[in-house]
Amino acid sequence: MNRKYRKTLIAGNWKMNKTPSETKQFLMEFKGMMPKGRWCDIAFCVPAVCIPAAVRAMRETRVGIGAENCNANASGAYTGEIAANMLVDAGCKYVIVGHSERRAMGETDADVNAKVKAVLDADLVPIVCVGESLEQRELGITEEWIAMQIKSALNGVGENKIKKVVIAYEPIWAIGTGKTATPDQAEEVCCAIRAVIRKLYDAKIARAITILYGGSMNEKNAFELLAKLDIDGGLIGGASLDAEKFVKIIEAANQPTT
Ligand code: PEP
């Protein structure tokens, strides 16, 4: 982390877990345990039906609520889909875009780019996920692959909008597997992502962009990961479903930095 230049964000991704009633119960409990430090932003990205309960529970706190996906279109005949302006009206602040689980369901780089633009147009914060497979890592093409994903996701995103974007580096082989990238592995890629942003925009923007690590981050490994200069927070799946573990990760983000 480098709090001098950029925000730290600890964001939960609940995936397809918890009902609206469970959301209310969980977040009320979490509210009572929330660390008092003000070093980092906190978010819960929850299933769409849980958004109203989450927004109500976290009202007047510094916790933002996010969606896990949205449609790139503003409205129309897209049965079952949710537009970014609907998420705004529901009280969301963040939207996860391009999670590898959605890419595995057929979401393309072009889809991700269209969603990023729709989310930014609605004045929400996209948490743009990128990451390599184990095979790509073993072939030694991690950085090229991720550079391509980022260039594609941010295609047409101007300097006035990029400031709102959060990038999450999530190696696919580390998501939900209990296999975490080592702090050095995660830092290497997050640093390479910042270099891509520098090339696409400029040094000031690269220095200010928040880059998260995601992939089996938990209360045990968070401190070491977050101690790395280019890792500005975490996108956390499994451990965000447990209030005590999530609080410990937030506390790890409150560690002193240089
Ligand atoms: C995720 O879903 O974005 C994620 C990182 O999951 P987990 O923490 O469970 O690996």
CATH of the domain at 161: 3.20.20.70
> Is residue 63 situated within a structural domain?
yes
> Residue 258: pLDDT band by 50, 70, 90 thresholds?
low
What is the position in ligand 1's atom list of the atom closest to the CA of 175?
10
> Is residue 1 situated within a structural domain?
no
Which one, of 196, 146, 197, lies nearest residue 170 by Cα?
146
Average pLDDT for 116-135: 97
Span 72-102, pLDDT tens digits? 999 999 999 999 999 999 999 999 999 999 9
- Which one is predicted more confidently, 98 or 178? 98
Span 9-34, pLDDT tens digits? 999 999 999 999 999 999 999 999 99
Which one, of 50, 128, 53, 60, lies nearest residue 94 by Cα?
128
End-to-end CA distance of the chain: 9
> Is residue 192 situated within a structural domain?
yes
> Is residue 59 situated within a structural domain?
yes
Given ligand 1 and candidates 9, 10, 14, 15, which is best to mutate, with the most ligand atoms within 8 Å of its CB?
A: 15
> Is residue 3 situated within a structural domain?
no
Q: Which residues are catalytic?
A: 99, 170
Spell 49-78 as b/e; 16+ CB within 10 A means b.
Answer: ebbebbbebbeeeebbbbbbbbbbeeeeee
Given ligand 1 and candidates 9, 16, 94, 170, which is best to mutate, with the most ligand atoms within 8 Å of its CB?
A: 170
Domain count for the chain, please give it.
Answer: 1
The residue segments making up the domain with residue 80 are 8-253
Query: Does 176 contact ligand 1 (Cβ within 6 A)?
Result: yes
Tokens for 17, please give them: 């877990």
Residue nearest to atom 7 of ligand 1 (CA): 237
> Is residue 2 situated within a structural domain?
no
Residue nearest to atom 1 of ligand 1 (CA): 237
Ligand 1 center–CA 46 separation, angstroms: 13
CA 84 to chain centre: 16
Asked whether the predicted pLDDT for residue 124 surpasses 80, the reply is yes
Measured on CA atoms in the order 66, 113, 146, 39, is the torsion positive or negative?
A: negative
